[in-house]
Amino acid sequence: MHLLWCCVALVSITAHTAEPRRPDPLKSGIEFSSAEVRALQQDDFSSPAMLWATRGEKLWNEPAGAGNKSCASCHQDARASMKGVSARYPKVDPGTARLTNIEGRINLCRTQNQQAPALRYESDELLALTAYIGMQSRGMPVNAVIEPQNRRNFERGRDIFYTRMGQINLACTHCHDRNFGRKLLNDTLSQGHGNPYPAYRLEWQTVGSLHRRLRACFFGVRAELPPAGSQDLLDLELFLAWRSQGLKVETPGVRK
Amino acid sequence: MSVARILVPSQAKRGEVVEVRIAIQHPMETGFRMDNNGRAIPKNTVSNLVCRYNGAEVFRAEMGSGIAANPYLQFYFVAQDSGNVEFSWVDDAGEKGSASSAITIA
């Protein structure tokens, strides 16, 4: 059975070795959201996601670890130093030569520079910092560059996007390329962009990372869930960033 | 750690009706949910929130399991004198929170 699965996977991978296409016209998920959700995201005070960004601002200035350094000790004012940073991630970290997203970058800083324990993925603290850093790029176009260092990650992410998976046997592309704008039960399918994340989802009643959202899709097609922060999800995150190139960052966004 | 955001106009005219908004980060556990091991998660909501304007109570909310996580409240009062608008709240777990903002009457 496993062998059969591998064959099926191989066939579908080889079918998509050409450069993939972005959805046309490119639309942010907020355009598929209801008027109420849109109003919530537009008003910085009513948006519950801003509570996390506010907490992130506090954490930014709070010393941590044996080094007794805060983020601000090195990076000063995030409003200047973090402007546009989230829009360029995920990137290959030169030190570890691994693809790193903002969450991973924060934890690298914590363990190497602050000598503090890494923050747990999906913890309120990590979400708050990611949301605060992401907010500094709000309104700027997503701009992840595919270069030789991350080409391999990009291709792996692309293959995940086009590979059928789970008991439902669907690939990301089936909903988010071919059927966006149409209904899946009570939901309007979006194009599946990561530009609002970390975002507040009304369903979660809390802010969650892009990886949590991706895991929800894996769960939806009844596939095995890759852990948050895993290589599979990082590669997929890079592919999604390429795919949403030019869309404006909405972090911290609001979704249904 | 509880985070709250409040929005009170910093300046107002005497007798003006001012809008006050507050959002509190809180899970508002209903008490009806179970954890992964089947044990009940105890109810934990912001049960009592009070707003005082120069020491006098102008607004009070008692919230229960019917209010969604991260409650957001908005109300109005008549600005009379310069002073402080102070919020204080307590949840079922006994954790207290507070926030305040100054208002100046022009």
Average pLDDT of the residues in A67-84: 94
Sequence ranges of the domains in chain B: 4-105
Per-residue pLDDT reduced to its tens digit, A18-58: 678 899 899 999 999 999 999 999 999 999 999 999 999 99
For the entire predicted model, the pTM comes to 0.90
Residue B1 — pLDDT band, cuts 50, 70, 90?
A: low
Q: What is the pLDDT of residue A179?
A: 95
Q: What is the pLDDT of residue B89?
A: 95
**Do B5 and A52 count as a contact with CB atoms less than 8 A apart?**
no
Q: Which of A173, A176, A165 is nearest to A224 (CA)?
A: A165
> For residue A250, is pLDDT > 90?
yes
B4-105 is classed in which CATH architecture?
Answer: Sandwich (2.60)
The answer to whether residue A217 is catalytic is yes
- ipTM confidence score: 0.89
Which of B3, B68, B72 minimises the CB distance to A54? Answer: B3
CA distances from A232 to A95, A156, A227, B19, B29 (A): 20, 8, 9, 48, 33
Establish, for the pair of chains A and B, how many residue pairs have beta carbons separated by less than 8 Å: 37
Dist CA B79 CA B87 (whole Å): 16
Residue A7 — pLDDT band, cuts 50, 70, 90?
A: very low
Which of B7, B25, B27 minimises the CB distance to A55? Answer: B25
**Do B23 and A45 count as a contact with CB atoms less than 8 A apart?**
yes
CA distances from B43 to A46, A256, B40, B89 (A): 25, 25, 9, 16
Q: Dig out the tokens for A25 from the structure.
A: 């016209």
Which domains does chain A possess?
6-43+142-255 (1.10.760.10), 51-135 (1.10.760.10)
Q: What is the pLDDT of residue A19?
A: 77
Whether the bond between A252 and the residue before it is cis, its omega within 30 degrees of 0, is: yes
Mutate to test the interface with B, among A43, A44, A45 (most CBs of B within 10 A): A45
Q: What is the pLDDT of residue A89?
A: 92
Q: What is the pLDDT of residue A233?
A: 97
**CB of A195 within 8 A of CB of A255?**
no
Residue A196 region by backbone torsions, left for phi larger than 0, else alpha for psi between -120 and 50, else beta? alpha
Q: What one-letter code names the amino acid at A17?
A: T
CA distances from A110 to A134, A180, A231, A241 (A): 17, 39, 20, 25
Q: Dig out the tokens for B81 from the structure.
A: 């004198």
Per-residue pLDDT reduced to its tens digit, B19-76: 999 999 999 999 999 999 999 999 999 999 999 999 999 999 999 999 999 999 999 9
